[in-house]
Structure 1
Amino acid sequence: MPAIRLRLLPLAAALVLLGACASTGTGAGKVSPPVDALYGQLDQASKGYETALQQAREGDNQASQQTLTAALDQLKGAAAHCGNTPGCDPQRFFSVFDRLLRLKNGGFFADDDSAVPIERTAEGSAGGKTGAASLSEAQRSVTLLRGQQLSELIAMNGPVKAALEMWLTQWRPNLMEAYVNYQYMRYQMWPEYQKQDLPEAVLFGIMAKESGGKVHAVSRSGAAGPLQFMYATGMRFGLVNDDGFDLRYDPAAAARANAEYLDEQLKIFNNNLELTLAAYNGGEGRMRRMVGDNTAVSFYDPKIYSQLSPETRAYVPAVLAAAWLFLHPDSYNLRFPKLDVSPGNITLKRPASVSELTVCLGSAGGMSNGWFRILRNLNPRLDPQMAQPAGTRLEVPKMLEKVYAVRCTDGPWPILANDLHTAVLPTVASAPVMPATVVKTSAPAKPRSYTVRRGDTLTSIVNKLGCSDVEEVAKMNSLRHHNISIGQSLRVPACR
């Protein structure tokens, strides 16, 4: 992955100039003493930065980090008062805060001025550690997109502000659920984005809007997976059928394909993030025709905006707003939960389904909604209702390893879970079918069969037949989560 350079001297000069400018007013007259005092803290933060930089050059990294942290805390405190002080410009504080925050978490020291890419071993671990534990705060906080700050790319216009309000009100439960789901899959998804030098916030924004982090989500149009790939687009980026499993449902594979797609489209649209997101939602072909050679055109230009579907007009600001909240929750009185998301695994000591494991794990670790969604996301190939044999290995959060050993290998909970899971439902007799009164001119076509071939998915089969939909075929064959296998004979509607 290309290293994301965060050079120190240019930003030091920028902070000094900005601090000096702030302390002398805006050119429209002198500022009030309270505002002048707050602006003065910009000067102090800049001086603290210079001191930290010098300490880093001298090799005293610990003192340098402490000095930088103090400067950051000073800015945070002043910024909190700025909003309530007449005449104070919060954007000045935000600009400096954003830069210091990126420097603090993005590789500050002289011998390490870039985010260090993850080196994955053959087992998929990183640097001897696994999952979230191997991802430094620097990698979590990098917010650049091809050298451009997201704070400069995400304009706080009407549509984005409206989307921010929606995420903070009506969509708030969806945002929180998406955050929790993403954090447990992060160790699988984020490294794929990092390889393409893309900011994590964009990945979260897309996933929050597309599926809320539900790996097995399927839209009415047939888009599937956590990042909602259509069949043809998924195929183009390697999301094929893998021994009966649709790779669009695999978090790591979907993140890789999504990152490759965005990398491709960013190059086409000259790193215009808004146009790239519009292409992801509305189709790259259509966006290219609308934009033409003018890749500098704004997404909100009436010539572009008025031609877009209502869905795409809402989609782009919603993704940007979710990405912004991911980066700056504190600025919007938002608190994401702190989670222990270290990855782990268990080996089943007795046969059990994901549903049964969910019952015996209960609300361990304070998970009030239970662990069903997390277990499904981390083990997308498993049918949650089908008992897996003893010896099967499942991916789980590490904190559940001990819980499983205590609750789910012996005792009353696995017995209860199995009793509930194997409950026999009464058979309901079908109502008699009354003869139709309308005279039919021809006999109804009988369903035919289709044998699943290598590379097939349920969506591709339906597209090939051209006379049915995915849900109809799934119901006819009692398919769970659209899982099919090579050689399987499917009943499909016949065209008339």
Structure 2
Amino acid sequence: MPTKSSPYIVSLLLFVSSSGMGCSTLPAGQAPVSYAPEASPMIAEPAGQAPVSYAPEASPPVAEPPISPLRTEGDAALGNLEDAAEGDTDVEPADESVLDAALELIDASQEHWAAGDRDRAIEALDQAYAIILKVPSDADAKAVQQKEDLRFVISKRLMEIYATRFMSVNGNGKEIPITINDHVEREIRLFQTVERDFFLESYERSGRYREQFAKMIRDAGMPEDLAWLPLIESGFKTKALSRARALGLWQFIPSTGYKFGLKRNEWIDERLDPEKSTRAAIAYLDELHQIFGDWATVLAAYNCGEGNVLRVIRQQKINYLDNFWDLYERLPRETARYYPRFLAVLAIVKDPAKYGFTLEGTDKPLPYEIAVIERPVHLEKLAEKSGCTYEDLAALNPELRHAATPGTAYDLRVPPGSREAVVAAAAALPKWSPPKSSFVVHRVRRGETLSTIAVRYHTSINRIMDANNLKSGRVIRAGQKLKIPLRETT
């Protein structure tokens, strides 16, 4: 875990985020689509939202770094500025001298990094950033441009240093340390009482996926305890859908799923695929770890978006890496609960008897082999012709939105030993076409809500939201035109 992170470093990471370098919060994605998922448990809602923009000049007060040989370099650079000013009391230190001093520190940082001293490299960049802030925003255009160029260089160097630092951290920890405090104990009590059935049912479902997830996470150099995240995200339900329209075991919203390679079209939604969504979750967690460096803050950012967490850190103006629980007090309530809720899960599964649980049987993993299907066929018809059960085919292929293969070659998961029968059955079946929806246009009247409109047209709120790319059901206004999906026809 990183040792120190000054306010200037956090400010620069914010600058990187807002300027498009490194990791953005959540890019604009495609509109959510409607499903008929299993009833989902009470789950935390990842909030995908646009990156927060910060004014480049806004910066917390300079944190006094510890005394070190590098401090001497910073003092020397600043001393040169003071000497330049003493030559004429009516003249401020030249902007050029300020920028030269910052360049010296950037060069020193590069030398420290090459020597393997990351902490001193970061400290030098921190001091360089403090120095370039001395160039006023109303300086001549050339000086301002040079200042922004240096800011960009410092930001890029910081991201490079942090990326290498966190990659080395990732490979070490086998477990996430469990802190038991009032926040965690509160979540444990909930699992022991009002959420006991949810916990036990989720634990039972976990057996179908958790060992595979743990291996994938372990192979990526991360703590395999992260394989328990789907318990609080989705209750280990492949089709869990939150009010924030996050879907699947790992609760990806469409834009974040797209960012991490999950396809979504008329036929498939890979957020529903256990293996593919786990690979995407690993990539996202790795990216967040490169930004924050500690798993507590990473999980908070996974839940509500890195932009939200960076904003709280910026407002906090303290070294947040020293104590996550200081950050905890300033996070949105649902996000604040997320990490202690995860620790509560770890505490229970590692010592169930201590907390009054008996954790015995779990669902078994579903073995499968691949059958390549070249044409669109419905799984129900395919099951009838091949001798498989529809339940098995549907459980093995949850990403198929219509429970049908697409029109292009598709790797269908099938029970072991059934490949030839499934391929032969698919070739004999007629092509299947997805249902077509018909729409009417409705002009919203004063006082109407999506609920009243849905009742009027015998449809659902989710279908109306999907048809109109609405992210919230509370944003319609009088006079607005909405497409209303009616009934489905084949």
Q: Please give the range of the TM-score, normalised by the shorter of the 2 chains.
A: 0.3 to 0.5
Higher RCO, 1 vs 2 (CA within 8 Å, ≥6 residues apart): 2
